Amino acid sequence: MKRYALYFAPPPGPLAETAARWLGRDAETGARLAQPHPALEGLTVSARRYGFHATLKAPFRLAEGLTEDDLIAAVEVFGAGVRPFAVAGLRLAALDGFLALIPEGDTVALNAFAAEVVIRFDRFRAPMTEAERARRAPERLTPHQRDLLESYGYPYVLDEFRFHMTLTDRLSPEEDAHLRPLAQTLFAPVLPAPLALRDIVVFGEGADGMFHHVHRARIG
């Protein structure tokens, strides 16, 4: 794998299956799937590449001397020491021009958990290259976000973190108006309430540029 990431991704079930069909790809099995609308093929290119997930620790290259097995073992140990928790549920929303599922209710425990993942696993992250830094467009970030980028390799962590499960690439207002009713119809019956967070999932970016499920570690 070229890079790794730590995600929340729901286990096999109605939500995971609906999202895989929506994106046209199941990141756990690698299967390509027929999407429920022809427009989705061109409007989910990036989302399909990364797989259905919520980012906990954004993609990173492994630090020198560390291996995939080291990362998986550390995730298992960390997960075993965390108590499972839940949020009230998920809802469909527009987030910076993307359709996404975002949490409902109190997110204090969720945000604290995500922050702990970012900090705990930063030792596995190789230092950013200039090319990686440039891809984050630091000139468009706030000073605080630039500090987070330098510290953790990603600007949207800790107090800048927003849990979200991306369903599309950036949409025009017309595309949003066209796709949002379909997304609401398909996802409303499968959105869990509450949403239990019981796993941390290691994903890896393969030689094909797609992110693949590598390992699921149970929490608690």
pLDDT band at 24 (very low <50, low <70, confident <90, very high): very high
pLDDT band at 188 (very low <50, low <70, confident <90, very high): very high
Residue 34 near residue 24 (C-beta atoms within 8 A): yes
Q: How far is CA 16 from the centre of its chain?
A: 13
Q: Which residue has the higher pLDDT, 6 or 220?
A: 6
What does the block give as tokens for 40? 């989705």
How many Å apart are CA 197 and CA 91, to the nearest integer? 16
pLDDT band at 186 (very low <50, low <70, confident <90, very high): very high
How many Å apart are CA 107 and CA 37, to the nearest integer? 33
Range 163-201 burial, b when 16+ CB lie within 10 A, else e:
bbbbbbbebeeebbeebbeebeebbeeebeeebebbbbb
Which pLDDT score, from 0 to 100, does residue 49 have? 96
Which pLDDT score, from 0 to 100, does residue 21 have? 97
What does the DSSP assignment read for the chain?
Answer: --EEEEEE-PPTTHHHHHHHHHHTB-TTT--B---SSTTHHHHSHHHHHH-S-EEEEEEEPBPTT--HHHHHHHHHHHHHTS--EEESEEEEEEETTEEEEEEES--HHHHHHHHHHHHHTGGGBPPPPHHHHHHT-GGGS-HHHHHHHHHHS-SS-GGG----EE-SS---HHHHHHHHHHHHHHHGGG--SSEEE-EEEEEEE-TTS-EEEEEEEE--
pLDDT tens-place string over residues 74-93? 999 999 999 989 999 999 99
Mean pLDDT of the chain: 96
Residue 119 near residue 111 (C-beta atoms within 8 A): no
Which pLDDT score, from 0 to 100, does residue 90 have? 97
Site of tokens 């390509």: 32
Site of tokens 């929303």: 93
pTM of the model: 0.94
Q: Which CATH architecture has domain 3-103+163-218?
A: Alpha-Beta Complex (3.90)
Which pLDDT score, from 0 to 100, does residue 41 have? 96
Residue 22 near residue 186 (C-beta atoms within 8 A): yes
pLDDT tens-place string over residues 32-59? 999 999 999 999 999 999 999 999 999 9
What does the block give as tokens for 86? 């839940």
Residue 51 near residue 23 (C-beta atoms within 8 A): yes
